Amino acid sequence: MKKIKYLVVLIIAATTLSSCGYNSMVEKDEAVSSQWAQVENVYQRRADLIPNLVATVKGYADFEQETLTEVIEARANATSINIKADDLNPETIAKFQKAQSQLSGALSRLLVTVERYPDLKANQNFLELQAQLEGTENRISVERGKFNEVTKDYNAYIRQFPRVIYAGWFDFEKKGYFEAEQGAEEAPKVEF
């Protein structure tokens, strides 16, 4: 008899969890985690390209060492920040984004500096790496957009009544978004 009562309680509990949207919250939370992993994947791809780019550029003896050092240090800083999917709040994403922005800036300065080296600009390895880096930057943009979409879906879902009550009970918390950096609304100044 105790087994039957226990089974009935389990069925009622499962039905309650299902009707409160618990399973959907889990699925949406996993979708955010999965998309975050994809964002990290494309950032890692960029980080993996940088040593080859630096090695190719180092072959030109008179190349500015300070620029190369800046890229290497920014890469080390960017790859040292690891955020777990269950800690995707605005503060941690801003920290991650700041490190990645520093790396983007260092890479931009490197590529601008390369303009002064016609032999390097004509080097096939460098051209291929530059094209791969450009493609990776596009992938980063796409994956960040997808991340924001699944995060929006998750956040909206857990904030709707009555799920907002259950979400709090089961520790489903709002996730952070990637946001435009301060000053991004202004076009960059290009000088020739």
pLDDT digit string, tens, across residues 23-74: 999 999 999 999 999 999 999 999 998 888 888 887 765 667 788 888 889 9
pLDDT for res 69: 85
User: Do residues 103 and 80 make contact, with C-beta atoms less than 8 angstroms apart?
Assistant: no
DSSP code of 88? Answer: -
Neighbour-count burial of 122, counting CB atoms closer than 10 A to its CB (0-12 exposed, 13-18 middle, 19+ buried): exposed
Name the residue type at position 62: D
Q: Given 3-state DSSP classes, what are the helix, strand and coil percentages for the chain, each rounded to the nearest 5?
A: 75, 0, 25
Low pLDDT (below 70) residues in the chain: 1-19, 60-63, 181-192
In the chain, the N- to C-terminal Cα span, in Å, equals 85
pLDDT for res 188: 44
CA separation for the pair 84, 36 (Å, rounded): 9
CA separation for the pair 65, 187 (Å, rounded): 29
pLDDT for res 52: 86
DSSP code of 186? Answer: S
In this prediction the pTM is 0.77
Neighbour-count burial of 154, counting CB atoms closer than 10 A to its CB (0-12 exposed, 13-18 middle, 19+ buried): buried
* Segments making up each domain of the chain, as ranges: 22-169
CA separation for the pair 39, 30 (Å, rounded): 14
CA separation for the pair 68, 90 (Å, rounded): 31
Class level of CATH domain 22-169? mainly alpha
- No. of helices (H) and no. of strands (E), the chain: 7, 0
